[in-house]
Structure formats: C-alpha cells, structure tokens
Amino acid sequence: MSTFTIAIHGGAGTILKSMLTPELEIRYNQGLQEALDAGYEVLKQQGTSLDAVVEAIKKLENNELFNAGRGAVFTNKGIHEMDACVMTGHDLDAGAVAGISNIKNPIELAKYVMLESGHVLLSGQGAKEFATSKGFEHIENDYFFNQYRHDQWVEIRDSESYQLDHKEDQLKGLHHEDKKFGTVGAVALDQHGHLAAGTSTGGMTNKRFGRIGDSPVPGAGTYANDRTCAISCTGHGEYFLRAVVAYDVSCLMEYKGLSLHEACAIVVQDKLVKLGGEGGLIAVDAMGNYDLCFNSEGMYRGIRTSEGINKVSIYKD
C-alpha cells in the first residue's frame, strides 16, 4: 500500500481554550474528526485525492459550526455568498466559484466547474446558472439560517464595519476583541501519488460590494502541484491574496529546494507577519509529509495518515 495523507482545517484566529465551553470543544473536535474520516476512507479505498478533499470539505460545509456551506455568515444584505475552490496537482487544473448562493455544497460545484465548464472561476448569477444546468438543487435560505450568526450580523448591519467571523465571547462572558477567520479546507496525497487541495468559505459577516477573499483564487488560498505540495489557507483574505500565499510556499520548494516545513514557516511566520496577515494553512507534499502552520492563537485542524497518525487539534500545541 502506498503512503497517503489527508489534512483539514476549519478556520484559524483568536481561538483560546477559555473561549470554548467543554461541550462546544467536543462538538468542534467531533466535526473535524468526521471530516477527516470521510476523506481518509476515500484514500484508503484507493480513491483520488480530489474526491477525498471534496468529501472531507462537504462534511465541514454541512456542519453549522464552520463558516462554509450551512454555517456561512450573513452579508450586508442579509444573505449568504459563498466561495470555494479545488485544484489537482497532476495537471494544475482548478475550478472555483465565488459569491454563490443557495447551493448546499459549494465545493462540489467548484469540482464541476473544473471538470465540466471549460473555465476556472465562475461567480454570482453565472455560477448559479451553471449549477442549475448541472442539476444542482436550489437550497432555500432557511437551510443556512443560524440564529447566532444572524444576531451577530444584526449588531453591525447598519454600520460600514465587517467582522471576520463569529466571536465566541458570549460563551463565557468575554468581551475582548476575538478574531476568527472562518474557512474550511482539505489537502490530500492519494495512493497514486497525486495531490489535491480544496477550500470553502462563507466569507466575512456584513461583507459588502460582492467582496471575495483568497479562498476561491488558485495560488492565493488554494494550490496543488504534484512537484511540490498542496495548500489550503485560512486567514484575513486580503493579505493572503496580496502575498499569494499558497503559491509562494510551492515556489520556495520548487525554486529554492526548501522542505515543506521550511517553506510554510517562512511564508506564514515571517512574510505574512511582516505584511500584517494573520491566519494559517494546511499542507502536504508529494512524499506525504504534512504541516499545519499558523501564526494565530489557534486553528481548527486535523491530520490522518496511512502510517497511523490520526489527530485533531484546536489550540497551539
């Protein structure tokens, strides 16, 4: 049996143990493990890294704890605009959607864009028309309604401010500024030696003007190349876009010969920090090595390998 690896994330940011009740911590860990297991099972059955990534992310999109799919935050107009991207490392093919509404699993639609549209990135109404043409079900807004996320939006909807994701301060009466970058993602190496990456997000609460972050942009929030690595990012998207974070990691490996760990550390702990960017990424290389790297207080994350490693984490180790 060839080596295979899958890593996932469910967002990064100010995530402190004091912010989560024991019950909520258990729910997050269970959600991460379910997603990890779904992707791992695909790889174990000799499925492709693409299918493993999509299956893992679908589990996270279906879990309202995470800011993607069902758990997507509200925009300034009180709706949900979701972004997603997949990329395969053997052919550098990619598919993405931005500003999509009423689709249960945007990551599945991104895969269809890659495989069947002839394009890389579709947005808004056009992406919805493509989804309809491919038989995707229109999901009513009620499915995406979450009272806590709605209340959070109501607090700031009449202002010009936005919120990176939900704050957990109501759980224990905390009132400090907590930033959480809500995105989900997965990266995988399959038994055929191929890499894939995927990322999905609901964006920022109260976002305006059709704002799009790094998640659906190949090279910024998502990237895969069999010669180097697969990357999925989570953080303040504007910085990740400007720093072309995912591709930067790959470039350091390809052109400077750095290891996966070395490349991730330079980009996340040095280059991003100097720019003012907070967040992290998950990565796996062509040999099955992995890195779960972040410069924030925490990152919902998990790793499972064919060599017996199986771990989910939230806080800094």
Hey, which residues are catalytic here?
183
What is the chain written as a DSSP string?
----EEEEEEEEES--GGGS-HHHHHHHHHHHHHHHHHHHHHHHTT--HHHHHHHHHHHHHT-TTSSSGGGPPP-TTSS--EEEEEEETTTTEEEEEEEE-S-S-HHHHHHHHHHHTS-SEEEHHHHHHHHHHTTPPPPPGGGG--HHHHHHHHHHTTSS--BSS---GGGTT--S---EE--EEEEEE-TTS-EEEEEEE---BT--TT---STTSBTTTEEE-TTSEEEEEEE-HHHHHHHTHHHHHHHHHHHH---HHHHHHIIIIIIHHHHT--EEEEEEETTS-EEEEESSSEEEEEEEETTS-EEEEEE--
CB-based contacts of 60, cutoff 8 Å, min separation 6 = 8, 10, 31, 35, 66, 68, 69, 184, 200
Nearest CA-CA partner of 297 in 283, 286, 284, 313: 313
